[in-house]
Structure 1
Amino acid sequence: MPGSVAGKESSPVEKKVEQVKKAEEDTKTTSDKPCCGETAVAGQCHSAQTPVEAMKSPREKYLYVLCLQSEENEQDKCGYLATIDADPSSSNYGKVIHRLYSSDPKDELHHFGWNSCVSCKNPAMQHRYLVVPGINSGNIHIVDVQNPAQPTLFKVISGAEVAEKFDATHPHTVHCLPSGEVMISYMGDKYGEGKGSFLLLDGKTFEPTGLWNRNDRPVMGYDFWYQPRHNIMVSSEFGVPNCFMKGFSPEDVKNNKLGNYLHFWNWADHTLIKSIHIGEEGAGSTTPLELRFLHNPEACEGFVGVALESTIRRFFKTPDGEWTTEVVIQVPPKQVENWTMPSMPANISDIIISLDDQFLYFADWLHGDVRQYNISDTKNPKFVSSVFLGGLISSDTGIKVVEDKELDKQPERLVVKGHPILAGPNMLQLSRDGKRLYVTMSILNSYDKQFYPEMVKNGSGIIMFNCSPDGMKVDEDFYVDLHNEPDGPARAHEVRYPGGDCTSDIWV
């Protein structure tokens, strides 16, 4: 595995003294204040002036997790936002303490974000609302978390109306903007064909106001991250919704119905300036998915996980001002028998960077492991540790690995508090102090059914790794059991905290 060498120091983000004083005043009161919903102190959530300062924030007391219904109820009952008690001193530690259901059984809650984070420079905006789209219906749920233990539904924006007015369907990533607006990336047009676009919501009313992107060149969509200091936004591609919403097909890979490009946008002009093809021309889709800039706002580089290529690519600005990419981590495919294809990619589904820009974590959904790398030298990440959960190469799946460039034998399935993990890791969320990594397993309803039917039948849980510079270890005392939910076994997807986290906060 690739090695690592040098690093960059995070530099302070300059702010006026008045802004600092106001932020401190806003965070001196009790836990029922809307800022973060936790005991507020200087340096927490959107008052933190640097990523390293945010690492000193209090431990997360709640997790917000999007859950899919059991297969038997998915046509009639809505998915929900589950609130998990994450306070080790609580008698409800690791349990679901509240459920807020969505508006339509067809929603399929997937990714979500905040109305305001550290990037927001509008003093009128409060870090109070979660913006929760349904990837299937397109409905956008605005959730009020003024009471962090019992979120309430503030309003719902019709996905059908957004599709008709803006020709946009299948929303994915949510980010707040420095202006106080909210931006959501979209993957399809109103017919479900591949069309990447970015919808803006008014920061107070949450009503859609228009599309951020100004040029009409057709691209696919998925994730995005912006950095105004370098006048850049980067976006990635999943594929054509009409294809991937039905499940994975090798023919879609062959026919480039899944994504291949990383797109670079002029932040000030809202225009696409460059698209980089990922992988070899003519080799089929590679699917660059989750992307992250380094948290240090002066850094002009980041990483993207390329699912089917099974690589982590570094994207960066060259000395002459051009943006480009390079492979810095390669996960070798497994040669297998008794599976769909003879070669099994890792399918890198999520990546996350610690707030001090020292560690990169990523999930291999098919192979089944989470990996940790030291990225103090971003050009040469150094492998630190990995933990296998219950991916397709687990010894009890019936799939035989006949050639493996990394392992001597197939790993055993992970069992936590008596619960076998029935799928590979999908979404990751790291605590702000970098010590706890929460892991969920559901990727997409159609994919879950195709690759991990036992997880769909029995539900998934949420597990936690204890992290240090020396590696990751499974926390044997933490497991969120979603098997016995009120409507049957549920599956967890993305995780957020009331006070902000490593993937929703963007320092500018």
Structure 2
Amino acid sequence: MISCLGDKDGNASGNGFLLLDSEFNVKGRWEKPGHSPLFGYDYWYQPRHKTMISTSWGAPAAFTKGFNLQDVSDGFYGRHLHVYNWPDGELKQTLDLGQSGLIPLEIRFLHDPSKDTGFVGCALSSNMVRFFKADDGSWSHEVAISVEPLKVQNWILPEMPGLITDFLISLDDRFLYFVNWLHGDIRQYNIEDPKNPVLAGQVWVGGLLRKGSPIVAIAEDGKTWQSDVPEVQGNLLRGGPQMIQLSLDGKRLYVTNSLFSAWDKQFYPELLEKGSHMLQIDVDTENGGLKINPNFFVDFGAEPDGPSLAHEMRYPGGDCTSDIWI
């Protein structure tokens, strides 16, 4: 099943889901007629609860040109979750996340198939929103983690959001990891109590606020600061952390740094010139904690056909961002 983003002209219509057979022939639409979402992007389903929930990025005509804050005000970006009956494709409920849930991208249920809760990363609001089934059988939501925007100098806006562009949940449902693509940090939260996530680790691997950047953050006392980002094997780290993937044992977190070429060009133009890279973050699964592995650096700037932009990562036999237990 493939989630669609819009029509051939880039409008936020024609959204929905295509079904393909094992030979990749299109069989038709999955959702029932008249049950298409307002915007499309990611989705996750929990078969035991007969539910699938999808997220909403925006109109391709808007985001393919780069990010423009006015497009948010003009209604070209989403803020809703769409709750479907699984596997029948009936839209049962639409959750309006409001200003706390602008541009919800990646979504994950807990891996435990009996659980009726999960999280969605809302990029522009920089919130992790928890969704859950209420006592009456409907679905509800609440902000579980907030990344406060930072006051900055020498940037296009007076405040900079973290921009949560990806997250995942470890296979044992103990930890949640997410990235702040603009700020430049990766975070680890203990979610053994999903209602009360606790910060367990944080590491800086790039971002717009790194030392040496003309952009600086302003602390409450008026002093300025920048993040300390180390070199890896003599390489300056480029861009900000974007897509992540976790090893099955939860001990190695891999991270790339390309979001979308038009947005890369806008916020991190050096990525197009020098290419992406992939890092390994070593995870302390006992006490919590993240560290950059100094011996691992994959340079996509050295590809035979020129610099490349690295994005998604997958384990061949299933992984933390694809496995759904029945």
TM-score when normalising by structure 2? 0.95
Residues 1:474 and 2:292 aligned together: yes
Q: Flag the structure with larger Rg.
A: 1
Q: Residues 162-173 of structure 1: matches in 2 within 5 Å?
A: none
Deviations 1:254-304 (A, max 9, x none): 212111101111114311111111123xx9x81011000000000101000
Q: In the alignment, which residue of structure 2 is the partner of 1:38?
A: none
Residues 1:275 and 2:94 aligned together: yes
Q: Residues 137-286 of structure 1: matches in 2 within 5 Å?
A: 183-195=1-13, 196-203=15-22, 205-217=23-35, 218-280=37-99, 286=102
Opposite residue 444 of structure 1, the aligned amino acid is: F
Structure 1: distance between partners of 2:246 and 2:224: 30
Deviations 1:86-108 (A, max 9, x none): xxxxxxxxxxxxxxxxxxxxxxx
Structure 1 stretches of 4+ with a deviation exceeding 3 A read none
Q: 1:260 to 1:301 in 2, by over 3 A?
A: same
Q: In the alignment, which residue of structure 2 is the partner of 1:487?
A: 305
Opposite residue 306 of structure 2, the aligned amino acid is: G
Opposite residue 56 of structure 2, the aligned amino acid is: E
Q: In the alignment, which residue of structure 2 is the partner of 1:422?
A: 238
SS in 2 for 1:493: coil
Q: In the alignment, which residue of structure 2 is the partner of 1:21?
A: none
Q: Residues 90-169 of structure 1: matches in 2 within 5 Å?
A: none
Q: In the alignment, which residue of structure 2 is the partner of 1:502?
A: 320
Are the equivalent residues in 1 in contact too, given 2:38–2:78 (CA < 8 A)? no
Q: In the alignment, which residue of structure 2 is the partner of 1:77?
A: none
Structure 2: distance between partners of 1:256 and 1:397: 33
SS in 1 for 2:301: coil
Q: In the alignment, which residue of structure 2 is the partner of 1:163?
A: none
Q: In the alignment, which residue of structure 1 is the partner of 2:181?
A: 365
Structure 2: distance between partners of 1:206 and 1:362: 32
Q: In the alignment, which residue of structure 2 is the partner of 1:61?
A: none
Deviation at 1:310, TM superposition (A): 0.7
Deviations 1:397-448 (A, max 9, x none): 201212469x983112331111111111000000011010000000001000
Structure 1: distance between partners of 2:62 and 2:210: 28
Opposite residue 335 of structure 1, the aligned amino acid is: K
Extract unaligned runs of 5+ from structure 2.
none
Q: Residues 63-74 of structure 1: matches in 2 within 5 Å?
A: none
Q: In the alignment, which residue of structure 2 is the partner of 1:332?
A: 148
TM-score when normalising by structure 1? 0.61
Structure 2: distance between partners of 1:226 and 1:237: 15
Equivalent pairs: percent with the same residue?
A: 49
Deviation at 1:490, TM superposition (A): 1.4
Structure 2: distance between partners of 1:338 and 1:257: 27
Opposite residue 416 of structure 1, the aligned amino acid is: V
Are the equivalent residues in 2 in contact too, given 1:396–1:412 (CA < 8 A)? no
Are the equivalent residues in 2 in contact too, given 1:334–1:404 (CA < 8 A)? no
Opposite residue 325 of structure 2, the aligned amino acid is: W
Opposite residue 233 of structure 1, the aligned amino acid is: M
Opposite residue 211 of structure 2, the aligned amino acid is: S
SS in 1 for 2:70: helix
Structure 2: distance between partners of 1:400 and 1:369: 15
Structure 1: distance between partners of 2:204 and 2:224: 14
SS in 1 for 2:262: helix
Are the equivalent residues in 1 in contact too, given 2:216–2:225 (CA < 8 A)? no
SS in 2 for 1:420: coil
Structure 1: distance between partners of 2:291 and 2:211: 21
SS in 2 for 1:491: coil
Q: In the alignment, which residue of structure 1 is the partner of 2:114?
A: 298
Deviations 1:202-236 (A, max 9, x none): 02x21010010113255100000011110100000
Q: RMSD across aligned C-alpha pairs, in angstroms?
A: 1.6
Q: In the alignment, which residue of structure 2 is the partner of 1:351?
A: 167
Are the equivalent residues in 2 in contact too, given 1:425–1:441 (CA < 8 A)? yes
